[in-house]
Structure 1
Amino acid sequence: MVNSASCMCTDLQSSLVVTWDGVGRDTCVQAALNFVVENVGPLLENASDHTRVATVNVSLSPHTSLLGDPVILNASPVVHPFVLSRRSSHLWDLFITGVPQLDFEEVALYSLTIYAKDSHEATASQTIFVQIEDVNEPPAFTGSLAREDQVTEIYITEDTAPGTIIYKAAAKDAEDAVLEYFISPESSSFTIDSTGTISTATVLDFERDMRSFSLVIKVVDPGGLFATGNLKIFLINVNNKDPTLTCSLFNIENGVLSVTSTNSTLHHEVNIILDEEIPIGKMIAMCQAADEDNLGDLTFGLETGDDYFAIDKEKGTVVTTSRLDVEKTGFASALSFSIKACDGDQRCAIIPVTTYINGINDNSPFCDQYLIRYTGKEEISKDTIIAKLACHDLDKPPDTIHYAPRSGPVGSGQLFEQVPNAENFIQVTVDIEDENDETPVCTPYLYKAVISDGVVAGTNVNGLKLNCHDRDSRDFEMRFEIASGNENLHFKLDPSRGTNTPKLIVKNPFNFESGADLQQQYHLVVHVIDDNLKSGKAIKPKTGTAVIDIYVQRISTLPPPTSSEVKNCRI
């Protein structure tokens, strides 16, 4: 009987069965379990999921079967993206699962051991190496631009200076290549440099330019692969502009109105002319203001060193507030002020104005002497100067004074003539002689009246007034006195001087009952004398006469008839 024994001898690929024959010889027979791995080659790191890496073909001895499927053991690294998938009973495919993704920069070489076991406990294994080849991958943004479905928003003020950095785009490249950055549109008022720094390129203006900018930021590697990100920049309005002021200013010269229009952008002073004595409250300017910043209401103001003008803070109308009088002591004929329009931050537009006040003829001339009486000899020679007038005018500039006769025999062909000289004096010469040789005359000469004995003191007798004139005296140069017939002083003339029409007044009432008065008929002789001169110079006065007959009627007694040729009155 031959004894026999068996043992296992394995290598990397199969199991060996060793047996003993009867003569003591040993033999080693290789079992049929075997692997054939095909198409194991380099794998691109960007290979897609389910890419076939290799094919594993398993050989079995007759009457044996594989226990389960081949498996991957002792992989390095342990976590790998490979899996075996049965294609047939003896054929398996090695696929990429995609988890984790192949990345040359992370793992450049995978080591996989494929192990199998058959129904006779025979085993086989084989180690394969999968080489990952580097592939140029596109760069990728980091930070907010990395989110492709989102726009990164940036807010900057409109007064941001050119060259100001507003954002830093950051990107990475798997191959650590030098990256380039681009911005579009290129004429977007912004620039980007080689480091991804974005800066302002021009002066920005919220009111006049675009108020937002949509930009595409592009990062490119040397191979031309790129990534893009979306950036939107919004401008914030700031109060960086002065308001603009437009005014219509009124010239009023010699009563004629004209308009001067200007605005603050012209930056020059405006001169206007106003007549003096225009009404207080007169509007001399209308203004309007605008502000591009549009950040609040505008108010008007007036910068002035005096109180001659004021402005409505809301409406912008400028009016006079005080009398303009160039003749007033200390009044300046040139008045300066500035019209302002300011916003809430006191950014202002200004129009300086100088107002020249035009003097008008608003003052009457006046003379040093208004009443001149010439007293001379009875005979005055021709061309004798009898009066010299000195008159003046307060208006500025002074007006030329013209002397013209208003009354009296003055002028060409008259008794007197005026000869003006350069000093605005008037010389009056006499052609004929004249003296006080006329007697005052009253018209009518005789007055009659009837009154009752019960008349009270102060009563104007029947409204009686004398009417007297003197050819060589003025009406106010006469005085009056009752020369005779005024027994018991019952009557008086009022006023007794300074007029030519004095009234006859009852001074003392009558008293017949007591016997104090017995006379009923009064014959009053009135003297009219032309010596009531203010100058007080001695003259040769002339006296005229008027007669007044008064009949005093007792209450129980009828009066006698009166003549129709005289004035009849009854109280």
Structure 2
Amino acid sequence: MVVTTGNPVPDYEAMPHRFELQILAYDEAGANDLQILTIQVLDIPEPPMFLGNLKYQTVMIYQFEGSPSGNIYQISVSTPVKYSMTPASPLFSVSGTGTISSLKVFDYEKDPHSYMLNITATDHLGRNTSGTLIVTIINKNDEQPYFTMKQRAFSVLEESLPGTMVANVTAKDPDDGEGVSSLRFSINNPEGIPSFSIDAVTGVLLVARRIDRDLDPLREHPNITLIIRVDDRPSGGQYAETEIVVTIEDINDKPPECDKYNYRREIKETARPGEIILDLKDCCRDYDAELRNQLFNFTGLSGVGSSKFTQDPPGSGRIKLIGNMDLENATDGAEKEEYTLTTEVQNIAFPYYANIIYIYVKIQPVNEFKPVFSDASYAFNVSEIAAVYSRIGQVIATDKDVPPTGISYSISVGKGNPNFSEIFWIDPTGGYLTIIARLDYETWQSAILTVQASDNDGESVTVPVTVNVLEANDEPPICSPNSYLLNIPVDQTSGSVAGFHITCVDRDSSPRSFRYSFDSGNVNNHFAFSPNAGSNVSRLILASPFDFESGLDKIWNYRLKVFITDDNLLSVGDRATVRIETGTVTLTINVIPKPTTEAPTTPRVIILTSRENVYSALAWYVPFIISLGSVILLGLLAYLTFWLAKYIRAHCPPKPRAPKPRADKQPLKATGGRWVGMRQQQELTLSRRST
């Protein structure tokens, strides 16, 4: 029996229509027989069936919007059929061959997004089959986005912090539908001021950095034009641009500024009330951009001296004097030489920024008065023996000017002697009159000087000063002859004139004021002067005879030093302070022996040497230079000695000394009846061996 396998309802069109089967029959003995069986498959009419995907499921067809009309799908069936579409649609059609076509260009934003097509296939026997096609319209980026906000002008305050919101830019894309927006925002600043940024997703316009309205170009042009661009996705698609204007509003963020905040002014003490000393309005300004923020005024004056100054009008900054500045005629006790005023320059607009200004007003004294001497004239007495650089008196002048202008003194040309300026000197600051040269009563007895007192501004006044020179005993007696050689016989009688007389003169003493005495050499008082006082002429006499025979006298040659002293007591009330001037005369006396008297065999030679060591205090530099030179010379010698020793030590090293023999520390050992050291013992042993 032959049976079929596989699909019990075979597909006639899909399988062979004829099968030939070879059937082999054989027995156990091995005999067989072969027969051919032919099977013919007959076609039985069936209803039409869709082929392909439509046979098993609903077919999804996707169509881009804007695509041109035309064929969109081809239907396949098992048998020839006629096609129909239900419900009939003006948007789609099906041809007799099963071709489905779109009849219009679809717009995703205007047309439905999906269409369901029911297709029926009917054969010639009236049998049919149905399938469903769903046509979905795919959105395409073909629409330009557009801005939805109506406002195009915005404003923001200067100095707003970065991140401050300025505007919310909104836009739409017709292609987005109800989905998530794919728009992206960007900003273009054609003016090149990067002051703003925009959130690319949300479109929020923000302050990007500090904005100063008071600087150019915003100071004159506070409006910033921005071009906002919105792009849809994907990039490179549609975009739109719009222009917005952001106005930067000025705020009062700057205090008034002045050229300086410390002003110094000087006014004369003779200034009168009403004088303007300073106008601060010309020195201050405000750099805010708008006028309402530039306005400022000045607060009232305060500080020391504010009662003497005011602002006229109030708040204007025009400082005017209203008080008295006269330093000599103070109205409120004591006028000051400097006043310190303070005021504030302050904005009129909130938050009322202010800066403190200090004004220092110095009162400049005016030389209104000349110096005035305390006396109409001065008279000073000075002894002619007064030491050089001695003060003889003081003149005093005062000045009513406040503060004192300072007075200096000088000597004008004196009357009667043009050289008085070389004799007198006056301290220019203290007014002390000093002599700078020796005075001489015998030359002139008085001097009339003109002393001038001048202030620092050249105002001067003079006063006569009379200097009376008082006579003093300052001239020594001058006698002639001042030296004399005299021979006297040894037997000359006592009381006789020795053959010498002296004549003296003194410029400041009378002839009766002289006294004569011996300083030295008058051994045994043999000699005396007659008269010894009260005359300017005196003779030498032998007061007592010589006595060589008894041996009382032994000197045959006398050297006498005679003092001639005046007794001038002029202008002296205290005798203890009497100044006595003395002159000297040197006498050399040789005693001539008698012929019967043994004369000295040895000749005597008398050498008289008179030395006078005169040292002037003005030559102080002589011992100073000598001492300084000695110290420098000693220092140089010490320096050279040091380097010489260093050189010798470096170039002449000491000779090496012989090494000191080392002590033998080995124990002693008895050898040959004596104790010797180990080293000595070794030497003895070696010597014995060699022997």
Q: Which has the higher contact order (CA 8 A, sep 6+)?
A: 1
TM category (shorter chain) comes to 0.3 to 0.5
Q: What is the TM-score when the length of structure 2 is the normalising length? A: 0.38
Which structure has the larger Rg over C-alpha atoms? 2
Q: What is the TM-score when the length of structure 1 is the normalising length? A: 0.44
Judging by fraction of residues, say which structure has more strand.
1
Judging by fraction of residues, say which structure has more helix.
2
